[in-house]
């Protein structure tokens, strides 16, 4: 079973700074099936990126994703106050069908 490991666990940054979040898979993952979510306290997760690099509807272009194989990255180019949250990567595998989440990265205000 493929494990997703996110790093760092916590990222302390100031508004306006660039955030780079990592998601590493224990085995190669199809980039088509790698997604990123944002979750704020008391809220359900929100889809940010699907297919490793495609932004979901309504997601600002300061959010970008890239990667392939075992290494994927979510970048927030300039942090806005509303971007401080927990971010999860997630992969889907078809044999057998199943979804896996990383353990999350918290982006907090420095």
Partner 1 sequence: QVTLKESGPVLVKPTETLTLTCTVSGFSLNNARMGVSWIRQPPGKALEWLAHIFSNDEKSYSTSLKRRLTISKDTSKSQLVLTMTNMDPVDTATYYCARTKWDLFDAFDIWGQGTMVTVSS
CA 64 from centre of chain: 9
Residue 32 vs 68, nearer CB to partner 1: 32
Question: Which of 23, 24, 45, 76 is in the footprint of partner 1 by CB under 8 A?
Answer: 45
Rounded Cα distance, 19 and 1, in Å = 29
Q: Report if residue 81 touches partner 1, rule: CB under 8 A.
A: no
Size of interface with partner 1, in residues (CB under 8 A)? 26
Q: Report if residue 104 touches partner 1, rule: CB under 8 A.
A: yes
User: Rg of the Cα trace of the chain?
Assistant: 13
Q: Is the peptide bond before 8 cis (omega within 30 degrees of 0)?
A: yes
Q: Report if residue 101 touches partner 1, rule: CB under 8 A.
A: yes
Q: Report if residue 46 touches partner 1, rule: CB under 8 A.
A: yes
CA 90 from centre of chain: 8
- Secondary structure class of 14 (helix, strand, coil): coil
Binding region for partner 1 (CB under 8 A): 1, 32-33, 35, 37, 39, 44-47, 50-51, 56-57, 88, 90, 92, 96-104
């Amino acid at each position: 079973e493929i494990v997703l490991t996110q790093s760092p666990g916590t990222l302390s940054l100031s508004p306006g700074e660039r955030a780079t979040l990592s998601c590493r898979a224990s085995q190669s993952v199809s980039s088509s099936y790698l997604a990123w979510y944002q979750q704020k306290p008391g809220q359900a997760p929100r889809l940010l990126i699907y297919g490793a690099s495609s932004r979901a509807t309504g997601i600002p272009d300061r959010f970008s994703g890239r990667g392939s194989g075992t290494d994927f990255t979510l970048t927030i180019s300039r942090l806005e106050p509303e971007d401080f949250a927990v971010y999860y990567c997630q992969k889907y595998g078809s044999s057998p069908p199943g979804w896996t989440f990383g353990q999350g990265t918290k982006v907090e205000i420095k």
